[in-house]
Structure 1
Amino acid sequence: MSLIDLLATSAELPDAWRSSVVGRFGGANLKLLRMDAGAYEEETHDFAEGLLVLDGTMRLSVGGEVVDVGAGQLYVVPAGVAHAVAPGSRGTLAILDVCARSR
């Protein structure tokens, strides 16, 4: 077992909105990224995706509505559902997915 400080690891990432895999568990990835005030384009996956805000706030756009997801909150986006991040998000985001390859 190893200890990973997610907030410290996120602070060391070179670019906002570029995720890095910090752990793999079976077929699942745990990715980490830093959010800045910029938007992130709409995407859809063939797997469910868990978006866990560690600090700050993510302004998630799903189905034409913006949902503010705060620190300590998890939003699960079902497979096949388009989602994007609206401007104004900041902080650290952990992403949990079952994609076998890293993106």
Structure 2
Amino acid sequence: MPLIQLDDLAAALPSAWKSTVLGQVGPARIKVLRMDEQAYEAETHDYNEGLLVVSGQLMLQVQGEAGTVVVEPGQMYLALAGIPHAVLPGSHGTLVIVDV
């Protein structure tokens, strides 16, 4: 696969919060999406989900965590399987998701 410009790819997506799969490494799917300041309702998965901020900021409400979890560029939050997590308003930029 060629070099991927994540911010450019996310900006070109037709809508925010709709990811596109970049590829797969072993069992892990790698996706990218654009965040647009809007909240995204709580969801729970039966797999771990790595949330890697490329640019901008991701703000999460996670069951069992006190307060807001803020993820900055270059940081990744690991949302564990079975734990509800929601994106709070104001989250923006490019997010890479690794489903494992």
Band of TM-score, shorter chain: over 0.9
Task: Check if 1:37 corresponds to 2:37.
Answer: yes
Query: Residue 91 of structure 2 aligns with which residue?
Result: 89
The equivalent residue for 1:101 is none
Amino acid at match of 1:55: S
Q: For residue 68 of structure 2, give the secondary structure of its aligned residue in structure 1.
A: strand
Counterpart-to-counterpart distance in 2, 1:26 and 1:13: 25
Partners in 2 of 1:61 and 1:23 — Cα distance? 28
Q: What letter is aligned with 1:3?
A: L
Could you tell me which runs of 5 or more consecutive residues in structure 2 were left unpaired when the two chains were aligned.
Answer: none
Q: Using structure 2 for the length normalisation, give the TM-score.
A: 0.92
Deviation at 1:2, TM superposition (A): 2.2
Q: Does 1:27 align with 2:27?
A: yes
Q: Structure 1: 5+ residue runs without aligned partners?
A: 99-103
Between Structure 1 and Structure 2, how many residues are aligned? 98
Quote how far apart the aligned CAs of 1:82 are.
0.4
2: CA distance between counterparts of 1:69 and 1:25?
24
Q: Segments of 4+ in structure 1 off by > 4 A?
A: none
Task: Give the TM-score taking structure 1 as reference length.
Answer: 0.90
